[in-house]
Amino acid sequence: MHRAGLAGLGSVAVLWLLALASLLGLWSQRIAEPVGIGASFPQERPGSRLGNLRQAAEVSAASSGRLGLASQAGQKTFRALLTLPRQPPEPQDDPSESGQEPPLPQREPGGLEQLSGSPVRGGIFWSRALEAQVPPGFSADEAASWLRAARAARVVALERGGCGRGSNRLARLSDGSRACVRYGINPEQIQGEALSYHLAGLLGIQERLPPLALSLVETRGGQWAQVRDELRGSHWAEGAVVSLARWVDNLTDVVAPDPWRAEAGRRLQPLAAAELRGLGEAQLAELVQWSDLIVFDYLTANFDRLVSNLFSLQWDPRVMQRATSNLLRAPNGGLVFLDNEAGLGHGYRLLAMWDKYNEPLLRSLCLFREATAQRVRELHRQRNAASELRRLYRTREPLAEALGFLSDHQAQLLQDRVDLVHRHILHCKAKAASL
């Protein structure tokens, strides 16, 4: 019995020695393998350790919807895939410069599986496939038809409520349509409303704004004769210029999406391609519209939309979780940019107060519709933002001369802001190329 016990102890000792030798062998092999540290990634050669890990992770992602790399370098490499051009099937040392984005991994229902590829191309532009999913707004033909009818129709009734400020009215027109009539506290606000509408046309985003026309209030005949009594109680001045914007039914509130749902004390962070993973098609389509809105509001210095919410954070830390001012959603999901009278002349006069909110909003955006970026680039290159706006305004608005145009100083401010947006887009492009 004693000899058998000693033999058993000897066997255990041998097993422990073998296990220790195996561990030492594995440890020495780990030390011998170099690991990339810092900003540069190890070269992913076919058959290398990192290359095999990434290949295995991509296979796993295709089946499970997630990318589970075991190393930090692998995670960084996948994050960079969202801004690198499309790769050919075989591994290469350098990415191509085609500007095409690789398809995102398959995701759970409600993710990006409905899109054929990445929602972003070239690092900073929304993909054409995603833009095709954006709900349509007011088409050019539809807007032109409504404007012709609204200018020819008579106002048959004026109602209070539903159109913002107490001095505004909801008008019923003789053709059966309705319009929000805005009477500005001063003519500068109506000018801002009209010029903002035509600037949106210059930028190629006018479909997001309800069709808008100017009208001269004259109670002795013409368009306003039937509502003479209502006008007496409105305190509107005879001969005032007001704006008529098409009324849209069944609009609902819009809350700022997560990238701009700031909290008190936290700075806005740039929205970039890497932040889009896990978002559904409807969320992405809304972000496309928000990118246009932020560019538009910066150019016009409009402080009466998301900027007013940011301002209110100082006493209401939950304001960004509430409805955004002057922004509503149509039944088809498209955003409607309403009530733009705080833009341009009125907004430019108050830059010192509001640009500390408008500028961070612009910096928070690094994804754009390519068509919008091209319009901005052309206005920057030609240095003709104000003159093109004046031409468009006078061509399409019969009452343009009644309100005048921007001052020379304001015209220069518009060009300066176009130039700044263009520089910001170039900054975003350089940043995306470096990832």
pLDDT of residue 79: 25
* Range with top average pLDDT, 1-5, 317-321, 385-389: 385-389
Same domain, 420 and 315: yes
- Torsion angle in degrees (nearest 10) through CA of 127, 128, 130, 135: 140
pLDDT of residue 84: 28
Structural domain includes residue 12: no
Contact (CB, 8 A) for 65 and 105: yes
pLDDT grade for 169, boundaries at 50, 70 and 90: very high
Same domain, 157 and 214: yes
Q: Would you state the structure tokens that stand for residue 58, as one six-digit string? A: 């991509």
pLDDT of residue 389: 97
Q: Structural domain of residue 303, as residue ranges?
A: 252-434
Distance of alpha carbon 129 from alpha carbon 146, whole angstroms: 30
Is the per-residue pLDDT at 408 higher than 90? yes
pLDDT grade for 57, boundaries at 50, 70 and 90: very low
Is the per-residue pLDDT at 28 higher than 80? no
Average pLDDT over residues 203-231: 91
Is the per-residue pLDDT at 247 higher than 50? yes
Structural domain includes residue 398: yes
Same domain, 187 and 235: yes
- Please report where in the chains the tokens 């928000």 appear, as a residue: 290
Contact (CB, 8 A) for 85 and 97: yes
Contact (CB, 8 A) for 119 and 126: yes
Average pLDDT over residues 281-286: 92
Residues 6+ apart with CB under 8 A from 129: 115, 116, 117, 119
pLDDT grade for 2, boundaries at 50, 70 and 90: very low
Same domain, 301 and 423: yes
Structural domain includes residue 100: no
Structural domain includes residue 338: yes
Of 26-35, 157-166, 393-402, 418-427, which range is least confident? 26-35
Is the per-residue pLDDT at 65 higher than 60? no
Q: CA dist 17 to 9, 12, 30, 251, Å?
A: 13, 9, 20, 77
Give the end of a domain, one of 246, 277, 301.
246
Is the per-residue pLDDT at 317 higher than 90? no
- Torsion angle in degrees (nearest 10) through CA of 79, 85, 90, 92: -80
155, burial (CB in 10 Å: exposed 0-12, middle 13-18, buried 19+): buried
Is the per-residue pLDDT at 94 higher than 80? no
Structural domain includes residue 85: no
DSSP letter at 247?
-
β-sheet bridge partners, residue 213: 244
pLDDT higher at 412 or 11: 412
pLDDT of residue 259: 73
Structural domain includes residue 57: no
Average pLDDT over residues 113-131: 82
The angle formed by the CA atoms of residues 278, 282 and 283, to the nearest 5 degrees, is 50
Distance of alpha carbon 307 from alpha carbon 325, whole angstroms: 9
pLDDT higher at 118 or 400: 400
pLDDT of residue 35: 32
Average pLDDT over residues 56-76: 33
Contact (CB, 8 A) for 103 and 116: yes
pLDDT grade for 344, boundaries at 50, 70 and 90: very high
Structural domain includes residue 122: no
pLDDT of residue 117: 73
Is the per-residue pLDDT at 93 higher than 80? no
Mean pLDDT of the chain, nearest integer: 76
Same domain, 267 and 392: yes
Structural domain includes residue 2: no
Give the end of a domain, one of 246, 279, 302.
246
Same domain, 308 and 209: no
Same domain, 360 and 296: yes
Same domain, 239 and 220: yes
pLDDT of residue 104: 30
pLDDT of residue 262: 58
Q: Phi then psi for 267, rounded to 5 degrees?
A: -75, 150
| Region for residue 77 given its phi and psi (left: phi exceeds 0; alpha: psi -120 to 50; beta: otherwise) | alpha
Contact (CB, 8 A) for 217 and 399: no
Same domain, 321 and 414: yes
Is the per-residue pLDDT at 105 higher than 70? no
Q: CA dist 321 to 256, 295, 307, 434, Å?
A: 7, 22, 14, 34
Encoded amino acid at 360, one letter: P
Count the domains in the chain: 2
Residues 6+ apart with CB under 8 A from 227: 155, 156, 157, 158, 171
Q: Phi then psi for 33, rounded to 5 degrees?
A: -90, 125
pTM given for the model:
0.72
Contact (CB, 8 A) for 255 and 309: no
Same domain, 363 and 403: yes
Encoded amino acid at 165, one letter: R
Average pLDDT over residues 235-252: 91
12, burial (CB in 10 Å: exposed 0-12, middle 13-18, buried 19+): exposed
pLDDT grade for 116, boundaries at 50, 70 and 90: low
Same domain, 283 and 223: no
Same domain, 260 and 241: no
pLDDT higher at 96 or 389: 389
pLDDT of residue 267: 52
Encoded amino acid at 181, one letter: V
Give the end of a domain, one of 246, 270, 293.
246
Of 114-128, 215-229, 387-401, which range is least confident? 114-128
